[in-house]
């Protein structure tokens, strides 16, 4: 676009627009920055009244997040001097570290279930999307609409039978059960997005390959998949973000074994009350991957969040 | 050698020696709420591991999710927990739906007598139907709702003088509910050490059981009853008696005039936060937290003291606490019963109290040194003498959620009158009992 | 060459099977590719939905294993629809839906319009603005509860700094009048970027020549805005509203963490009440009927809306 274009905004209006948008962006960041800061406060500073903006940073929140601690008698404490900096921190409450907390496990569950269901959604989704894109499928539009409409269903409408079904099949609180469930929720997104990406790959490439003697399968593997790689990667990230953040099913269907981080983080308690620095530390660690993905994904963001309905 | 290394080495040694002597060493899982006493139980259980050769695992769930998670687990027939320290109100459902193992034969065989435990705790934590000698749990953790306050403020001569001037009375641990409110109102909005402080933190939580546990702290001392005759489910005139209405109005006045702003959905955690951050002069909470509060570096020690829920027309405290049960879906019931047998021993019970758990065993409670062993020990005994509990019916969750809604609607959301709230509550409860076929 | 994997797969496949796969017709391949997806959707969505419908006519309680299950006809539906609390929950949901969409459209569109002025660095700032919507609603809700604490929360202090009101003089989550707005604020904070992105796509889809033509016709900027920008962006905006509407009707995690439905029941959205009935009171049959009522409502409203959307698109 040339600067002589009549549609190019004037410098002054650009400046005002920039100022307003940046102001909004800064305001919108405040809660996130506050989460980050709270993670480095001591529990007393975190609930100090009025709130403290300037404080002595400490790793207490992170120590509390990753360990379980127990209160000990004075004799024991005197007989066993603290061994490292983490121990040092908990000693001020007459406590000692007795082992790791559940956070590591919960985080790993999020990773296993998130990546597992993403892989499955992409695998099945790519196959279905390819078929919808390239072949004549009877009732194609109806099937595609059916796939989309499952996403509109409130999770609560199916939660009760899913609970009963999982109970009968022994899938409650298992990684497999959660992977299947999240795949069932994600697959509609995967099919729609991937179909859009595959539609954009010219058919001529495959046709040339078929003429060269490739089978359909080979053409799919060798020609279509490499071409769709970017689309597959961005679809994968959207599936992953959903599975990563999901709460309602996780809280109903998982407990000791397969519980993911979102139901766990809001319940991290310290001595008595909620341990806000540990909660904030957990939230920070949990949110960082999503933030990185968002930045990586910024080009495909729009397509992902609208089921491919809007492209930039 | 570090403590953890020491522990793990000794655990390995123990495991090795016991494995050779005992063939069937089991991996037991005990489920409970995640709070201070649970940590104490982990410590205590090390002795059991050493003696029996079994390994103890623990699944502790934070209070706000405890009922949801554990009842879900039981209802799914889950094998996660071999032993469950379940809330007192679950006993009806646990017994009737077959989640808990009945312990009578086991108690007889091992000559464990329920007479060795405080009667109120046996009644509340172990029996179903209520009061019959059918035991589904062993009292594990006695608990009641009590109060703690800023002793340093109460003893401050300036504050004492101001209180005298304002009310004409001496500032002391309140002897009645109304005096409690008067003191709380006195502190509300007062400047202390350059900060505005408030009267008291009370329970107002909406989601699980908070406000019910708080409001019953007023209802019971006024003489509230669930039924006119126990077991008859005739609630008209009991649940909505004039005393109950007055007590409910009292709780609302307390909430409106003597609690810190923003404590509209607060339970155990918020109460502790309010006290530890120096916002309130007093706070209600379960005795289970008192050892932790006393040890707090900022507001514990000589800055804190405790009192039992004050009486009004009569003494009355809201019961907390739990019994320990064996889950019927467990494959390791024998080992789980072994744990209960071990836990019931007087020496173990004494150690339990020492570590911060509340034993319900008479040998502990009647020990002459008990009252002086902790600053809240005497209050605990007094409280356990006058405890009452919520419905323990199998449908308790429906009953509880109805009460949560009606009370929160009236107290916090300002809807209707106390009389209307209690009348509506009877309607809700009647509907539940009709569905149950009990009315 | 990148064909090695394929060769390996082909070699690893037993000869007879391999020949079969190679020889499959396109039609067969299509079905092999599509059927796992359809099967999974039937198992996770359709079969449970049918089961819910069936349960909704019974008095089943999932926590009472031995209890007799009776057919109760339409009694559950009757009970729900005649219960005044149901309508209060519906009202709370409607309030939440209307105002979140209103603010998100207003702020989202304005932001998109400003960003479309293409000031320097607009890409970077757009990415920053988008961050909140990618986060876990449960974690976000939980932390906003902390921000809303009158004495220790940042929100009240910031408001106090601007208005001079005492921070502890208002309770965002505890007051009957403010709590419905408190959840609107958090949802708006989180989801305005969504509406903004879609509007931005709409704005960027308008070809420059239309404005150039208008400029030649000496149409005023305001007139250009009203006759070109708004109508061209409208289908995009309506799509955004559809997505937000469906999402917020399902809203559960954020509000549960923030208020748990309180104070009283003023923020008890239908989905929260449904969770209570189904998984806390365990009135499975009753809750199933409730779920069906909600499902029909969403589907009905969405279909009417989609018809309207298509009309706008055709214009």
pLDDT for position A272: 54
Q: What would the mean pLDDT of C7-19 be, rounded to a whole number?
A: 47
> What pLDDT is recorded for position B273?
84
CA distance B349 to C269: 47
B127 beta partners = B135
What value does the mean pLDDT take over residues A123-143?
Answer: 89
Q: Cβ contact (<8 Å) for B269 and A92?
A: no
Long-range contacts of A221-230 (CB under 8 A, 24+ apart): A221/C3, A221/C5, A221/C6, A221/C9, A222/C2, A222/C3, A222/C6, A224/A130, A224/A198, A225/A126, A226/C2, A227/A201, A228/A126, A228/A194, A228/A197, A228/A198, A228/A201, A230/A197, A230/A300
Tell me the per-residue pLDDT of A136-183, one tens digit each, with 9 for 90 and over.
888 888 888 888 777 777 777 788 889 888 888 888 889 999 999 999
Residue A38 backbone dihedrals phi, psi, to 5 degrees: -60, -30
User: Regarding the domain with residue range B3-144+321-388, which homologous superfamily does it belong to in the CATH classification?
Assistant: Periplasmic binding protein-like II (3.40.190.10)
- The CATH code belonging to domain B145-318+395-435 is 3.40.190.10
Q: How many residues does chain A have?
A: 312
The C-alpha angle with vertex C138 and arms to C134 and C141, in degrees rounded to 5, equals 95
List CB contacts (< 8 A) between A93 and chain B. Answer: 295, 297
The ipTM estimated for the assembled molecules is 0.87
Handedness of CA B148, B152, B153, B157 (dihedral sign): positive
Query: CB B401 to CB C276 under 8 A?
Result: yes
- Supply angle C-alpha A293, A297, A302, rounded to 5: 130
| CATH topology agreement for domains B3-144+321-388 and B145-318+395-435 | yes
Q: Which chains touch A (3 or more CB pairs under 8 A)?
A: B, C
What is the CATH code of the structural domain delimited by C75-314? 1.10.3720.10
Q: What is the pLDDT of residues A228-254, one digit of tens each?
A: 988 898 899 889 988 999 998 998 888
Query: Is there a contact between B413 and C281 if contact means CB atoms under 8 Å apart?
Result: no
Cβ–Cβ below 8 Å for B264 and C282: no
| Range of weakest confidence among C63-67, C95-99, C168-172 | C63-67
Contact B104, B133 (CB under 8 A): yes
For residue A93, count other CB atoms closer than 10 A to its CB.
17
Confidence (pLDDT) at C255:
92
pLDDT given at position C52: 92
Domain formed by A104-267, architecture: Orthogonal Bundle (1.10)
CB neighbourhood size of C218 (10 A)? 7
Res B417: pLDDT: 96
Compare all CA atoms of chain A with the CA of B289 and give the residue at the minimum distance: A272
Asked if B127 and B285 count as a contact pair (C-beta separation under 8 A), the reply is no
From A29's Cα to the closest Cα of chain B, the distance in A is 24
Q: Across chain A, where does the E strand assignment appear? A: 67-71, 95-100
CB B376 within 8 A of CB B144: no
Residue that is written with structure tokens 């060459």 in the block: C1
Smallest CA-to-CA distance from B288 within B141, B439, B74 is with B141
**Cα separation, B28 vs B44, whole angstroms:** 15
User: Is residue C169 very low, low, confident or very high in pLDDT (cuts 50, 70, 90)?
Assistant: confident
Helices H / strands E in chain B, number of each: 20, 12
Quick: pLDDT tens for C182-196: 999 999 999 999 999
Residue with tokens 């027309």, as numbered in its chain: B313
Omega of the bond leading into A201 within 30 degrees of 0 (cis): no
Q: Examine the pLDDT at C90 and tell me if it is beyond 60.
A: yes
Distance of CA C144 to the CA centre of its chain: 19
Backbone angles phi, psi at A300, to 5 degrees: -105, 5
Radius of gyration of chain B, Cα coordinates, nearest whole angstrom: 22
Which of these, B201, B225, B208, lies nearest to B145 by C-alpha position? B201
pLDDT in tens, B251-290: 999 999 999 988 888 888 889 888 988 889 999 999 999 9
Q: Which of B194, C140, B204 is nearest to A49 (CA)?
A: B194
What are the tens digits of pLDDT across the range B154-173?
999 999 999 999 999 999 99
**B298–A44 C-beta distance less than 8 A:** yes
Give CB contacts under 8 A, 24+ apart, made by B269-274. Answer: B269/A269, B269/A272, B269/A273, B269/A274, B269/B63, B270/A273, B270/B201, B270/B205, B271/A273, B271/B201, B271/B202, B271/B203, B272/A271, B272/A272, B272/A273, B273/A47, B273/A273, B273/A274, B273/C152, B274/B198, B274/B201
Whether residues B292 and A271 touch (CB distance < 8 A) is answered with yes
Distance set, CA A50 to CA A34, A179, A264, B95, B425 (Å): 14, 44, 28, 49, 40
Q: Where are the domains of chain C?
A: 4-55, 75-314
pLDDT in tens, C237-271: 998 998 899 889 888 889 988 988 878 889 999 99
Averaged pLDDT score across all residues of chain B? 89
Strand partners, B305: B149
Q: Is C246 helix (H, G, I), strand (E, B) or coil?
A: helix
Q: How confident is the model at residue A3 (pLDDT cuts 50, 70, 90)?
A: very low
Q: Is the pLDDT of residue C14 over 70?
A: no
Under the banding of pLDDT at 50, 70 and 90, the label for residue A37 is very high
What was the pLDDT predicted at A6?
Answer: 58
How many other β-carbons are positioned within 10 Å of the β-carbon of residue A71? 21
In angstroms, rounded to a whole number, what is the distance separating the alpha carbons of residues C102 and C106?
Answer: 6
Strand-pairing partners, residue A17, are none
Q: What is the CA radius of gyration of chain C?
A: 26
Mean model confidence pLDDT for chain A: 86
Distance CA C150, CA C157 (A): 8
In whole angstroms, how far apart are CA B29 and each of A102, A110, B159? 15, 23, 51
Cβ-Cβ contacts under 8 Å between B and C: the total is: 96
Contact by Cβ (8 Å): A275, A268: yes
Contact present, C173 and C259 (Cβ < 8 Å): yes
| Exposure of B204 in the CB half-sphere (CA atoms within 13 A) | 33
Binary contact (A48, B277; C-beta < 8 A): yes
From chain C, pick out residues whose CB is under 8 angstroms from the CB of B394.
64
Residue A8, preceding bond cis, omega within 30 degrees? Answer: no
pLDDT for the residue B109: 93
Chains contacting B (3+ CB pairs below 8 angstroms): A, C
Residues 6+ apart with CB under 8 A from C161: none
Sort out which chain A residues have CB atoms less than 8 A from C142's CB and list them.
Answer: 265-266, 279, 283
Chain C within 8 Å of A310 (Cβ-Cβ)?
Answer: yes
Q: Which long-range contacts (CB under 8 A, 24 or more apart) does C306-314 make?
A: C306/C242, C308/C238, C309/C235, C309/C238, C309/C239, C309/C242, C312/C234, C312/C235, C312/C238, C313/C235
Q: What letter would DSSP give residue A9? A: P
**Whole-angstrom Cα distance, residue B61 to residue C65?**
25
On whether the CB atoms of residues A290 and A241 are closer than 8 A, the answer is yes
pLDDT at B183 (0 to 100): 97
Work out whether the CA dihedral B119, B122, B127, B133 comes out positive or negative: negative
Q: Using one digit for the tens of pLDDT, what is the confidence trace for A266-305? A: 877 665 567 889 999 999 999 888 888 888 877 787 777 7
Q: How far apart are CA A98 and CA A68, in angstroms?
A: 6
Burial class (CB in 10 A: 0-12, 13-18, 19+), B223: middle
**Residue B401 pLDDT grade (very low, low, confident, very high; cuts 50, 70, 90):** very high
Q: In a mutagenesis test of the C interface, which of A33, A51, A289 is the best target, namely the one with the most C β-carbons within 10 Å?
A: A51
pLDDT band at C17 (very low <50, low <70, confident <90, very high): very low
Chain C adjacent subunits, 3+ CB pairs under 8 A: A, B
H helices of B356-395, in order, are 362-365, 370-373, 377-384
Bond before B383 cis per omega within 30 degrees? no
Ranges of beta strands (E only) in B134-248 are: 138-141, 145-150, 190-192, 195-201
Residue tagged 């996780």 (tokens): A250
pLDDT at C2: 41
Q: Where are the domains of chain B?
A: 3-144+321-388, 145-318+395-435
Q: Helix or strand or coil: residue B59?
A: strand
Over residues C257-313, the pLDDT tens digits come to 898 887 888 999 999 999 889 888 888 999 999 999 998 888 888 889 888 888 887
Confidence of residue C23 (pLDDT cuts 50, 70, 90): low
What is the mean predicted confidence (pLDDT) over B286-303? 89
CA distance to partner chain B, nearest, from residue A36 (Å): 21
- B201: three-class secondary structure by DSSP: strand
B157-167 and B177-187 helices cross at what angle (nearest 10)?
120
- Helix or strand run (H / E) with residue C100: helix C84-115
Nearest Cβ partner for A287 among C130, C135, C278: C135
Which chain A residues touch C120 with a CB distance below 8 Å? 14, 18
pLDDT digits (tens, 9 = 90+) for B193-235: 888 899 999 999 988 899 999 999 999 999 999 999 988 999 9
């Amino acid at each position: 676009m040339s600067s002589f274009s009549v549609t190019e905004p004037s410098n002054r209006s650009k400046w005002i627009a920039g100022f307003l948008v940046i102001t909004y962006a800064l305001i919108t960041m405040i809660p996130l920055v506050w989460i980050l800061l709270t993670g480095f406060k001591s529990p007393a500073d975190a609930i100090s009244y009025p709130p403290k903006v300037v404080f002595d940073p400490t790793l207490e929140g992170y120590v509390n997040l990753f360990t379980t601690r127990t209160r000990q008698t004075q004799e024991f404490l005197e007989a066993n001097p603290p061994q490292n900096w983490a121990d040092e921190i908990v000693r001020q409450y007459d406590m000692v570290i007795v082992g790791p907390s559940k956070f590591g496990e919960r985080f790993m569950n999020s990773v296993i279930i998130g990546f597992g269901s993403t892989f499955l959604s992409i695998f099945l989704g790519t196959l279905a999307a390819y078929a919808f894109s390239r072949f004549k499928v009877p009732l194609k539009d109806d099937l595609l609409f059916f796939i989309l409409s499952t996403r509109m269903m409130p999770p609560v409408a199916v939660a009760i039978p899913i609970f009963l079904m999982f109970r009968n099949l022994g899938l409650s609180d298992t990684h497999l059960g959660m992977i299947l469930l999240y795949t069932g929720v994600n697959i509609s997104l995967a099919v729609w997005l991937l179909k859009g990406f595959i539609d954009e790959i010219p058919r001529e490439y495959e046709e040339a390959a078929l003429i060269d003697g490739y089978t359909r399968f080979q053409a799919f593997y060798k020609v279509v998949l490499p071409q769709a790689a970017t689309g597959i990667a961005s679809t994968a990230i959207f599936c992953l973000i959903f599975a990563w953040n999901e709460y309602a099913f996780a809280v109903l269907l998982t407990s000791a074994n397969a519980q993911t981080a979102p139901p766990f983080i809001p319940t991290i308690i310290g001595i008595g009350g909620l341990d806000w620095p540990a909660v904030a530390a957990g939230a920070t660690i949990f949110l960082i991957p999503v933030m990185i993905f968002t930045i990586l994904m910024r080009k495909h963001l729009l397509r992902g969040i609208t089921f491919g309905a809007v492209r930039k | 050698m570090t403590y953890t290394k020491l522990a793990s080495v000794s655990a390995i040694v123990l495991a090795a020696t016991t494995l050779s002597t005992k063939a069937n060493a089991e991996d037991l899982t005990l489920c409970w709420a995640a709070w201070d006493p649970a940590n104490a139980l982990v410590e205590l259980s090390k002795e059991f591991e050493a003696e029996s050769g079994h390994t103890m695992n623990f699944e502790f769930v934070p209070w706000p999710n405890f009922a949801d998670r554990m009842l879900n687990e039981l209802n799914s027939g889950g094998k996660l927990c071999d032993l469950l320290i379940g809330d007192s109100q679950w006993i009806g459902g646990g017994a009737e739906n077959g989640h808990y193992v009945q312990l009578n034969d086991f108690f007889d065989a091992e000559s464990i007598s329920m007479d060795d435990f405080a009667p109120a705790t046996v009644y509340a934590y172990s029996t179903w139907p209520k009061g019959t000698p059918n035991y589904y749990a062993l009292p594990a953790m006695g608990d009641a709702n009590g109060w703690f306050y800023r002793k340093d403020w109460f003893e401050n001569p300036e504050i004492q003088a101001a209180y005298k001037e304002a009310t004409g009375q001496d500032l002391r641990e309140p002897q009645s509910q109304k005096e409690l409110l008067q003191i709380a109102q006195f502190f509300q909005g007062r400047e202390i050490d350059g900060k505005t402080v408030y009267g008291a933190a009370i329970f107002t939580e909406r989601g699980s059981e908070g406000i019910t546990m708080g409001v019953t702290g007023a209802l019971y001392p006024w003489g509230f009853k669930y039924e006119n005759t126990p077991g008859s489910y005739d609630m008209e005139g009991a649940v909505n008696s004039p005393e109950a209405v007055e007590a409910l109005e009292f709780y609302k006045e307390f909430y409106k005039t003597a609690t810190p702003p923003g404590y509209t959905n607060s339970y155990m955690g918020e109460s502790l936060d309010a006290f530890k951050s120096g916002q309130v002069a007093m706070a209600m909470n379960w005795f289970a937290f008192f050892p932790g509060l006393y040890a707090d570096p900022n507001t514990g020690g000589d800055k804190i003291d405790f009192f039992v829920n004050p009486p009004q027309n009569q003494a009355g405290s809201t019961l907390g606490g739990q019994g320990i049960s064996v889950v019927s879906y467990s494959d390791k019931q024998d080992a789980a019963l072994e744990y209960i047998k071990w836990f019931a021993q007087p020496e173990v019970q004494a150690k339990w109290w020492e570590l911060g758990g509340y034993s319900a065993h008479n040998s502990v409670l009647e020990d002459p040194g008990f009252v002086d062993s902790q600053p809240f020990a005497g209050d605990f005994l007094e409280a356990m003498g006058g405890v009452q509990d919520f419905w323990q019916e199998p449908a308790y969750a429906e009953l509880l959620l109805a009460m949560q809604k009606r009370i929160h609607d009236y107290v916090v959301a300002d809807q209707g009158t106390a009389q209307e709230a209690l009348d509506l509550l009877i309607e809700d409860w009647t509907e539940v009992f009709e569905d149950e076929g009990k009315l | 060459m990148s064909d090695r994997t394929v060769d390996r797969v082909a070699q690893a496949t037993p000869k007879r099977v391999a020949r079969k796969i190679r020889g499959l017709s396109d039609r067969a391949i299509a079905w092999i590719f599509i059927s796992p997806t359809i099967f999974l959707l039937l198992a996770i969505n359709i079969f449970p939905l049918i089961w819910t419908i069936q349960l909704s006519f019974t008095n089943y309680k999932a926590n009472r294993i031995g209890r007799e299950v009776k057919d109760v006809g339409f009694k559950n539906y009757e009970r729900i629809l005649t219960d005044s609390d149901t309508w209060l929950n519906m009202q709370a949901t409607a309030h939440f839906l209307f105002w979140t969409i209103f603010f998100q459209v207003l702020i989202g569109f304005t932001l998109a319009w400003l960003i479309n002025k293409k000031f320097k660095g607009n890409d970077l700032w757009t990415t920053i603005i988008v961050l909140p919507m990618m986060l876990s609603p449960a974690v976000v809700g939980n932390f906003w509860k902390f921000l809303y604490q009158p004495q220790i929360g940042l929100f009240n202090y910031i408001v106090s700094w601007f208005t001079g009101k005492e921070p502890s003089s208002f309770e965002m989550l505890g007051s009957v009048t403010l709590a419905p707005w408190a959840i609107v604020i958090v949802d708006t904070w989180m989801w305005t970027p969504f509406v903004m992105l879609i509007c931005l796509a709409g704005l960027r889809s308008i070809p420059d020549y239309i404005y150039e033509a208008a400029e030649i016709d000496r149409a005023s900027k305001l007139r250009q805005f009203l006759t070109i920008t708004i109508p061209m962006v409208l289908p995009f905006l309506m799509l955004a509203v559809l997505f937000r509407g469906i999402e917020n009707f399902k809203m559960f995690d954020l509000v549960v963490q923030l208020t748990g439905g309180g104070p009283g029941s003023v923020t008890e959205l239908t989905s929260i009440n449904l969770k209570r009935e189904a998984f806390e009171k365990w009135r499975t049959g009753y809750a199933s009927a409730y779920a069906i009522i909600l499902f029909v409502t969403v589907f009905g409203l969405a279909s009417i809306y989609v018809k309207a959307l298509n009309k706008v698109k055709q214009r």
